[in-house]
C-alpha cells in the first residue's frame, strides 16, 4: 500500500484527508481543493472559512476573491462570502501589473 503524505508550502503536515490540495495564498489563508475539484478557503489553523463549493477560486485579498459558481459564472466575494460583483461573467481575471479585475461575457 502506498502512503501519501501532504504538506503545506511552509512545511506543515496536512492531516485532513478531505482535500487533495492545500496551498497558501498571499495573505494568511489557504486555498483548499477537495476530491471533487471544488475550491474553498481555510485559515492558518486549517479551519474552514469558505466551504469547498466553488468550481474555481482565485484569492486576491481578504476583500477580493474571484470565484466560479456551479452555473459556471464568475463573480467576486469577500472572506465572509458577501457578493462584491454578481455572478454574471463567463471569464474574470486580474489584468497583470494593475489593480483592475476584468469580467467578460462570451457571445457566440
The pLDDT assigned to 3 comes to 58
Q: Which residue from 25, 35, 33 is spatially nearest to 63, judged by alpha carbons?
A: 25
User: Does the global pTM surpass 0.85?
Assistant: no
The pLDDT assigned to 71 comes to 95
Asked whether 24 and 44 are in contact (CB, 8 A), the reply is: no
pLDDT, tens only, 21-54: 888 998 889 999 998 999 999 999 889 999 999 9
- Average pLDDT of 79-101? 94
- What confidence category does residue 69 fall into, taking pLDDT thresholds of 50, 70 and 90? very high
The pLDDT assigned to 107 comes to 86
Distance (Å, whole) CA 74 – CA 53 = 13
Amino acid at each position: 500500500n502506498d502512503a501519501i503524505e501532504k504538506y503545506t508550502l511552509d512545511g506543515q503536515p496536512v492531516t485532513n484527508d478531505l482535500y487533495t490540495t492545500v496551498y497558501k495564498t498571499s495573505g494568511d489563508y489557504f486555498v483548499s481543493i477537495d476530491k471533487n475539484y471544488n475550491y474553498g478557503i481555510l485559515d492558518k489553523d486549517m479551519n474552514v472559512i469558505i466551504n469547498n463549493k466553488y468550481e474555481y477560486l482565485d484569492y486576491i485579498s481578504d476583500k477580493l476573491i474571484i470565484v466560479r459558481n456551479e452555473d459556471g459564472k464568475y463573480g467576486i466575494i469577500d472572506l465572509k462570502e458577501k457578493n462584491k460583483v454578481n455572478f454574471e461573467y463567463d471569464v474574470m481575471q486580474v489584468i497583470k501589473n494593475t489593480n483592475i479585475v476584468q469580467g467578460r461575457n462570451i457571445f457566440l
